[in-house]
Amino acid sequence: MKSKTNLIIAILIPLAVGAVSAYLSRQGMDSYAALRQPPLSPPDTVFPIVWTILYILMGISSYMIYTSDSGKKDNALKWYGIQLTLNFFWSIIFFRFMLFLPAFIWLVLLIIAIGIMIFKFYEIKPAAAYMNIPYIIWCIFAAYLNFGVYILNK
């Protein structure tokens, strides 16, 4: 039972981070909708679906690392926390404050942190690392969108 509880908590942590960040960012959503968007911008309904899936995968992968016997797990989970913190603040910088260039730079830092986290996870459990590949790809795509919004709306 404890194992299932820990898994649920591990999944709820990134979901809660995403939900609180979205809640704090909501004031800028109306203004964002009026901005010019770069090509390949998906409909707004895609974002919560994709992020929910990514947060669930993040939670499962963090649980895999947390339950491992590796002496490297504390460092790997530190990087998990760093990237989750960076993730939390990106949408606030981008949507709430509409600081598109600083948000882009922040997102580049997030992508670097995700890459380090994936590497650290891979050293412990490759499957946990692979679960985060869609996340880094999505964040690279988000960087394209973020930079596009910056360029098109200067």
Structural domain boundaries in the chain? 2-152
Number of Cβ within a 10 Å radius of residue 153: 13
Which CATH architecture group holds 2-152? Up-down Bundle (1.20)
Instruction: State yes or no: pLDDT of 2 exceeds 80.
Output: no
Long-range contact set of residues 76-80: C-beta below 8 Å, sequence gap at least 24: 76/117, 76/120, 76/121, 76/123, 76/124, 79/113, 79/116, 79/117, 79/120, 80/117, 80/121
Q: Taking a C-beta distance cutoff of 8 angstroms, is the pair 76, 15 a contact?
A: no
* Predicted local confidence at residue 124, as pLDDT: 98
**What amino acid occupies position 98?**
M
Q: Is the dihedral of CA 84, 19, 143, 59 positive or negative?
A: positive
92-113 pLDDT, tens digit each: 999 999 999 999 999 999 999 9
Q: Specify the pTM.
A: 0.95
Determine what percent of the chain is predicted with pLDDT higher than 90: 92
Q: Which two tokens stand for residue 100?
A: 């598109």
> C-alpha distances in angstroms, 96 versus 56, 62, 74, 100, 101?
24, 28, 33, 10, 14
Q: What is the pLDDT of residues 38-92, one digit of tens each?
A: 999 999 999 999 999 999 999 999 999 999 999 999 999 999 999 999 999 999 9
